[in-house]
Amino acid sequence: MPESRPPEYIFPERLKKARELRGLGQPDVAKRSGIQASAISHFETGNRKPSFDNLRRLAQALDVTTDFLMGRTDDIGGTATADRLYRNIQQLKTGDREFIEDWIKSKTDHARQRKPDK
Amino acid sequence: MRNAGLFDQAAAVAERVIREQGISTLPVDPMAIARSVGIEVKEKPASSSGVSGVLIRLGDEFCIAYATHIRSLGFRRFSVAHELGHYFLEGHFEAIFADGPVHESRAGFFSNVKYELEADHFAARLLMPNSLFYAALRSVGDGLAAVESLATTCCASLPATAIRYTECVSEPVAIVISTGNSVDYCAMSRALRDLDDINWIRKGQSLPRNCATRQLSGNPERIRRAERVEGASAFQDWFGGNLRSEVSEDAIGLGEYGKILTVLYSIELPEDSDEDSDEQVIEAWTPRHRR
């Protein structure tokens, strides 16, 4: 089950878990991600919150998904595709909503084509 | 007014992005920056007049879609830069995605939501980074003409450029953005803020009765046509206090935006009284020799 706690509690644990699973130290992750080792230490203690850019770099460096780091899936390589996240949903007019739905559909279709059913 | 220090982190992150991207000339292209970090950039259909910009995430893939119903290229670029702010600034992912879809999002300095204002400040600094903006500022003169020249160089919107102008200029200058006769936003240069005996112009405050901006404010058609007026008004009409000085005032309608941008400049300040007293002290202690 994906985590229901807020990401500020989940992310530090998931980052540490993924790093240890890959057998890497903080300096190794720093080198791979281009993020300073001190920042990674702060992320793991929860003293600093990451940006989306940080999340993506860390996910790439650790070969996990941002969804795993955010606690939206327990699968280390998984993506919470059903969890459609975008800002302003309440304010979005129909045209905007359709535009976004189209983009998401094109991405999920593309992903499905790349990963044929087993 | 700008909350000094509150948005320094946003500015610092924007400057870091500029450095990392190796950008050394104006204008800065926010669309190119987005694409360089793997974010797809798409235009929303012109028929879709909803939000100015939107950041969409699906797993590890991101897309920034921006509105095209407002023709201003500067406005579009600011919208993309604003969404990049949400991408690059720490802590924003929790606020804008994980806490639920409760945030308003209209790029352009008028939101009260901290994260939106942070993204606005990031956007302004990304499009007008210090190293490049100060260099451009040296040769632009003053008043609205200076703001327009900088906006052209930076390919940025007039309001965003005007705000950056007040942050960087050394003279006493203020910019006011208003709707009807009511102030939406004001930014003042440091030289003006440092004056003791003035009232800072606040959101919701009425425009002075006899100012040039009022000539435009009652005529939406003139605002839509981006007409301009120039005038001079009394410093006290805008800022209260006891300083008897004149202020040059340039105002321009912001087109479909429906607002007016006013630039207040050429403000003559009293001579520094400390300097006077220094001269007097020097004079008093200078030995006088009889010939």
Q: What is the pLDDT of residues B158-178, one digit of tens each?
A: 999 999 999 999 999 999 999
Q: What pLDDT, on the 0 to 100 scale, is given for residue B5?
A: 60
Q: Is the confidence metric ipTM above 0.85 for this complex?
A: no
Taking the Cβ of residue A103 and every Cβ of chain B, the question of whether any pair is shorter than 8 Å is answered with: yes
Q: Which residues of A touch B103 (CB under 8 A)?
A: 87-88
Are A91 and B105 within 8 A, CB to CB? yes
Q: Is the peptide bond before B27 cis (omega within 30 degrees of 0)?
A: yes
Q: Are B100 and B55 in contact (CB under 8 A)?
A: no
Across the interface, of A7, A80, A87, the residue whose CB is closest to B54 is A87
Please tell me which of the candidates A51, A79, A96 has its beta carbon nearest to residue B50.
A96
Contact yes or no for B59 and A81 at CB 8 A: yes
B37 touches chain A (CB under 8 A): yes
Q: Where are the beta strands (DSSP E) in A1-116?
A: 85-86
Contact residues, A window 12-71, toward B, CB-based 8 Å cutoff: 48-56, 59, 65-67, 70
Where are the domains positioned within chain A?
7-70, 79-114
Domains of chain B: 4-128 (1.10.10), 170-269 (3.30.450)
Superfamily the domain A7-70 falls into? lambda repressor-like DNA-binding domains (1.10.260.40)
Phi-psi region of A26 (alpha: psi -120 to 50; beta: other; left: phi over 0): alpha
Residues 6+ apart with CB under 8 A from B190: B170
- How far, in Å, CA of B102 to CA of B191, rounded? 38
Give chain A positions within 8 Å (CB) of B65: 96, 99-100, 103
Query: For B53-80, what is the mean pLDDT?
Result: 85
Among all residues of chain A, which has the CA nearest to that of B68? A96
- The CA-atom distances, in angstroms, between B38 and each of A10, A52, B244, B287 are 25, 12, 56, 73
**Statement: residue B145 has pLDDT above 50:** yes
Burial group, residue B129, by CB count within 10 angstroms (0-12, 13-18, 19+): buried
| Residue B89 touches partner A, C-beta closer than 8 Å | yes
Mean pLDDT (whole number) for B78-92: 93
CA distance to partner chain B, nearest, from residue A64 (Å): 10
- CA–CA dist B261, B207 (Å, integer): 12
pLDDT at residue A36 above 90? yes
Q: Identify the band that residue B48 occupies on the pLDDT scale cut at 50, 70 and 90.
A: low
| Beta pairing partners, B247 | B233
Report yes or no: B114 at the A interface, CB cutoff 8 Å.
no
Owner of token pair 């046509």: B225
Interface membership of B133 toward A (CB under 8 Å): no
At residue B83, does pLDDT exceed 90? yes
Are B105 and A67 inside 8 Å of each other by CB?
Answer: no
Of A114 and B133, more confident: B133
Mutate to test the interface with A, among B17, B60, B88 (most CBs of A within 10 A): B60
Q: What pLDDT, on a 0 to 100 scale, did the predictor assign at position B167?
A: 94
Q: What is the pTM of this model?
A: 0.82
Question: 3-state DSSP call for residue B149?
Answer: helix
Span between the terminal Cα atoms of chain A, in Å: 23
pLDDT number for residue B273: 46
